[in-house]
Structure 1
């Protein structure tokens, strides 16, 4: 499996230069979640739940997110507040990208669905077990279920114009390559370790494209990038993963 990652990432061809204009490019202060007075502004608006402040995470993202999740699972209040503040922008951007494609009223419920995701994450924390996959993938999985619930409810409503997701026009996009398939394989702990070495923006992009299954167009909606720029950034991220895989093999 590791050889698959090491040997295949170079197959994705960039199609255009990544723009240098404004977009979603979150950065976090290098501090501890337990210091609310040192909290810095993060992406998206703060959640209704929790402290109302974004969490303070290290620039690499993953290691401190893992510590944050572990503390929240133990029931530590400041960690729960900070984790919910971290989860809400992720859920909001994901829901906005997925619901924007739907006709009818479903797309107007982005904030409500994102809030439901936060509630579901909060309720799931006591039973959460780290199985090696990034915590963000867990959040995106919950969000996908909540969106499916909304779609089913909307289709049952009188006079609904919402159509099933499977009936929507397909968005042309490249199929998963061997490197993406490897990241979805059973060696999740190893893949998580590799992902933790990517910059936060690249890591989120790979998670959205691979773990959450978003198209390049949907990922662009989330990150404020064009579909072509998403493909370029994905190529760079996977090339970095290939180099990391070669170093660790």
Structure 2
């Protein structure tokens, strides 16, 4: 009876109803929860509606707040502050937890690849760069005509005939000159690795 009277009198801070609920009155607990639940739901929806664009997360958090309020009710002590501030304190903590979880869960990731990555890794990239730099250094030490021939044959991929047309040589002469240029490059590379 006291429960209904407290609820009907519209006690703004729900003090008497809260006092009865803290004492374990099942009717008071039910009425108290019926009073605060709509406030909790509105608060959670206002704070969390933007997290997912839908209310299901906010409604789940509101449910967790109600459960936490019920669990904390026996430990509640009226310190002159409205019971609603106690409830909203719990709600604020649950909302913060939900936001942290949403941030952790919403870390953008690339789509999963269809297969393994064929691109070279960092180590292989560095090794290739160093080898290419070494090859460029060795090429600069060749005489101009041999360097041009190696660039056309090996780097550009021209045939002996095509290289001969560019350089004004026969295809046979291109092959012989290429052999000599590559032998010279090998010798320079060996000297460099010994030193």
Q: TM (normalized to structure 1)?
A: 0.39
Query: Larger relative CO (CA 8 A, sep 6+): 1 or 2?
Result: 1
In terms of fraction of residues, the more helix-rich structure is 2
